[in-house]
Structure 1
Amino acid sequence: MVWMVNKQMQIGKGKRSHIWLGALLCWFCFMLVTPKITLSHKPHHFADMRNFLGVPNTLNVITNFPFLVVGVVGFVLSLQGCFFNISLKGEVWGWALFYGGIVCLAFGSAYYHLKPDDGRVMWDTLPMMIACSSLFSSFMAERVGQRAGLSCLFGLLFAVLLSTVYARTFNDLRLCMMFQLIPCIAIPAMTFLYPPKYTHSRYWLWAAGVSLLAKFLAVLDKKIYNANRYLISGHSLEHLSSAAIPVLFAIMLIYRTIRFQRLGDLKERP
């Protein structure tokens, strides 16, 4: 029995090393083959820039309100510990910071869309990077273990700081944009490598699918705006679609139950 446990631990460590090596290679390839993404003025021009009641770019601003509502509710429930099924202290850190990042995103994105320019774009990007980092660390804590999740959380937050400095220093947003791709690519891939500790794990895949849908809506911003006869733009729909992601995770946290308990996590119950 002891031999089998040690063998499984060695296999798990091997998987983790392969994942980090693959992530490093993906980062290297991304930086090698993609052109520099500068803080140019072109991305600041969205399809729908109408003003209602004196609010510039009204729909792009007010569609951030769902982030505020869902973020505040999720942050409170993460810390309270009654409605959300969170079995480890390390998971509380990740989920609370995720929903805290969603709250900051509501304010940062609204502030940016009131007057989109180079000076404000990082207020929109930085909270999104923090939320994505926290979400991925929560996934690691659930699938791999609390220690791996916390290490991932602090490591990614440090990477967020470095990416922000890099973007402002070298006028290049590529590292910042990578954080938005982490949940979309890494989480579905790791879903098949590690067994779920909780039930309702399919919500991770649904959230990744909604995230990809939101990216497509943003890319088709003008075409969607023209197709629905100037009712709402693709970028505003991206905000609404993205706000559904923390809602999906809130539903998952409420209804999920523990399928099995890891030996290393038994001593870390909150």
Structure 2
Amino acid sequence: MAWMVNKQVPIGKWKRFHLWLGALLCWLCFMIVTPKITLSHKPHQFADMRNFLGVPNTLNVITNFPFLLVGVVGFVLSLQGCFFNISLKGEVWGWALFYGGIVGLAFGSAHYHLKPDDSRVMWDTLPMMIAYSSLFSSFMAERVGQRAGLSCLFGLLLIVLLSTAYARTFNDLRLCMMFQLIPCIAIPAMTFLYPPKYTHSRYWLWAAGVCLLAKFEDALDKKIYNANRYLISGHSLEHLCSAAIPVLFRNYAHTQNH
């Protein structure tokens, strides 16, 4: 793995243009080929709907607490750039917004799971998309440069707002769902194309893998719940698994490469 991460291939502006063009074409194909996914397409029914101590959907609610804990600590420490060995202001903004999005996700997801319905689902989705946007912009700031990172941050935040507005206006979740898959695909690919600025950059790949694992756990919600004899559901495990992602990013930037 270390050999693969260190064997980056530099690419020029023309090739980068082709990469972005390819991404745009993939997006267009996705929108044309896939059917509309409405807000009510997936019923708000999870495998584990048990109530403990009067709290609806207890485990799906309380498994958001790690997001709050990790998010608050990460937000405070990211503002102190020296703790993370962050050298660019764009990285500070990106990481602060990332951990701020994690805090928002803790509250938004808990609020949604207390009473899952169409009116609350965006409180779960929006903070997650903000966190993904800032995460990808931090990656761009580290690998490409501060200007590229900030441009990416503002551009992606605009896309987040447009995707959310599109979902609410046209009752179509495709843009939001596709947006959440971008880091899982783009970050591993770009890890091999752009040289790392920090050591421990393999944590980008680990985080992408954990993110994919969390998606599989969510997709297998009921099967996992049945397999472990109703101890914990796949969706609750997705929360715990996803909370490990911001912890991984604390480890990757201990020291800088010179």
Match of 2:169 in 1: 169
Moved over 6 A (4+): none
Deviations along 1:67-102, one digit per CA (max 9) or x if unpaired, are 000000000001012311111001011100000000
Matches within 5 A, 1:170-209: 170-209=170-209
Matched, 1:91 2:70: no
Question: Equivalent residue of 1:204, what SS?
Answer: helix
- TM-score, length basis structure 2: 0.94
Q: Distance in 2 between matches of 1:174 and 1:227?
A: 30
Give the conservation status (yes or no) of the 8 Å contact 1:41–1:118: no
Mean CA deviation greater in 92-101 or 29-38: 29-38
Match of 2:31 in 1: 31
Match of 2:256 in 1: 258
Structure 2: unaligned runs, 5 residues or longer: 1-9
Give the conservation status (yes or no) of the 8 Å contact 1:41–1:117: no
Match of 1:82 in 2: 82
Mean CA deviation greater in 131-140 or 79-88: 79-88
Q: Distance in 2 between matches of 1:117 and 1:11?
A: 46
Q: Distance in 2 between matches of 1:145 and 1:43?
A: 43
Q: Distance in 1 between matches of 2:252 and 2:66?
A: 18
Match of 1:128 in 2: 128
Structure 1: unaligned runs, 5 residues or longer: 1-9, 261-270
Give the conservation status (yes or no) of the 8 Å contact 1:218–1:238: yes
Deviations along 1:196-234, one digit per CA (max 9) or x if unpaired, are 111111000000000000000000000000011100000
Question: Equivalent residue of 1:44, what SS?
Answer: coil
Q: Residue type of the partner of 1:124? A: D
Q: Distance in 2 between matches of 1:36 and 1:73?
A: 39
- TM-score, length basis structure 1: 0.90
Match of 1:143 in 2: 143
Q: Residue type of the partner of 2:224? A: I
Q: Distance in 2 between matches of 1:118 and 1:168?
A: 10
Once the two structures are TM-superposed, the CA of residue 16 in structure 1 deviates from its matched residue by 2.3
Q: Distance in 1 between matches of 2:105 and 2:66?
A: 11
Match of 1:235 in 2: 235
Match of 2:3 in 1: none
Q: Residue type of the partner of 2:82? A: C
Question: Equivalent residue of 1:82, what SS?
Answer: helix
Matched, 1:73 2:79: no
Q: Distance in 2 between matches of 1:189 and 1:82?
A: 29
Once the two structures are TM-superposed, the CA of residue 26 in structure 1 deviates from its matched residue by 1.6
Q: Residue type of the partner of 2:80? A: Q
Q: Distance in 2 between matches of 1:11 and 1:108?
A: 39
Give the conservation status (yes or no) of the 8 Å contact 1:141–1:147: yes
CA-atom RMSD in angstroms: 1.2
Once the two structures are TM-superposed, the CA of residue 32 in structure 1 deviates from its matched residue by 1.5
Question: Equivalent residue of 2:230, what SS?
Answer: coil
Once the two structures are TM-superposed, the CA of residue 42 in structure 1 deviates from its matched residue by 3.5
Give the conservation status (yes or no) of the 8 Å contact 2:200–2:251: no
Deviations along 1:118-165, one digit per CA (max 9) or x if unpaired, are 000000000000000100000111111111110000000000010010
Give the conservation status (yes or no) of the 8 Å contact 2:142–2:197: yes
Q: Distance in 1 between matches of 2:20 and 2:93?
A: 22
Give the conservation status (yes or no) of the 8 Å contact 2:126–2:164: yes
Q: Residue type of the partner of 1:18? A: H
Once the two structures are TM-superposed, the CA of residue 178 in structure 1 deviates from its matched residue by 1.6
How has the CA–CA distance of structure 1 residues 25 and 41 changed in structure 2, closer, same or farther, with 3 Å as cutoff?
Answer: closer
Q: Distance in 2 between matches of 1:41 and 1:28?
A: 22
Once the two structures are TM-superposed, the CA of residue 19 in structure 1 deviates from its matched residue by 2.2
Q: Distance in 1 between matches of 2:107 and 2:224?
A: 25
Paired residues in the alignment total: 249
Q: Distance in 2 between matches of 1:49 and 1:41?
A: 19
